[in-house]
């Protein structure tokens, strides 16, 4: 196997193609999202010992009680984010491994990402440097508060599940902006979609999910 950061890397093209076929079976239709997931080297964002499983449709531990989301959930949330009007500025709450950030960086002009676990953020920043993702700006911060200084955003994507909605995030959306967020206690989480229309927020429940908790406004 060939380990690289810019080629097929670590696994055969057949392995990556198999993942893309699985995502299509899960009804992921956006070709830009599928093509991006086919090319982003997910094995770089997991421990070397788990790299051989990087292109399976599963979440994997990344340390500090966190996980890298399964490719389906990354694809699903990204596809939802891209629906409708063009998206130029996205805020991600919970950089984690940096994989979701990297996918977004190939599809959105400007990505802002916050993370409260310093070692994870340091590792993710190094991956962004290796992959030359120059349109990603990161911040070591409590993600529950968002990034008010950089607001407003066209979309906000949250990669950990609070039990209650952080309303400060809604306030950082542009008119027409979207918030995609998992919410609820472990075993009872749902993926929710909010859209801002003026000073009102329209909510849609999408599907059952399982994410690490966002506790007291913090991932972990």
The residues carrying an active-site annotation are: 69
Half-sphere exposure of 18 (CA within 13 A, CB side): 10
Residue 212 CB: number of other CB atoms within 10 A? 20
183: left (phi over 0), alpha (psi -120 to 50) or beta: beta
Residue 150 CB: number of other CB atoms within 10 A? 15
Round to whole Å and give the CA distance between 98 and 89.
17
Round to whole Å and give the CA distance between 72 and 63.
21
149: which DSSP letter?
A: G
49: which DSSP letter?
A: G
- 35 and 103 Cβ atoms separated by less than 8 Å: no
């Amino acid at each position: 196997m060939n380990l690289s950061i810019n080629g097929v890397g670590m696994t055969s093209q057949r392995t990556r193609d198999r993942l893309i076929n699985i995502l299509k079976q899960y009804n992921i239709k956006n070709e830009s999202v599928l093509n991006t997931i086919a090319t982003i080297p997910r094995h770089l964002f997991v421990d070397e010992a788990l790299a051989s499983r990087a292109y399976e449709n599963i979440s994997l531990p990344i340390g500090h009680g966190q996980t890298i989301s399964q490719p389906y959930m990354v694809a699903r949330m990204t596809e939802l984010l891209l629906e409708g009007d063009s998206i130029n500025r996205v805020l991600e709450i919970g950089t984690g491994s940096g994989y979701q950030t990297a996918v977004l960086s190939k599809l959105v002009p400007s990505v802002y990402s916050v993370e409260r676990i310093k070692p994870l953020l340091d590792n993710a920043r190094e991956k962004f440097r290796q992959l030359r993702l120059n349109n990603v700006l990161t911040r070591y911060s409590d993600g529950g508060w968002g990034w008010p200084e950089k607001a407003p955003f066209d979309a906000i994507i949250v990669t950990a599940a609070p039990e209650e909605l952080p309303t400060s995030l809604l306030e950082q959306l542009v008119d027409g902006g979207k918030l995609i967020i998992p919410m609820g206690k472990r075993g009872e989480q749902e993926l929710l979609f909010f859209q801002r229309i003026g000073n009102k927020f329209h909510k849609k429940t999408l599907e059952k999910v399982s994410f690490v908790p966002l506790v007291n406004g913090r991932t972990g």
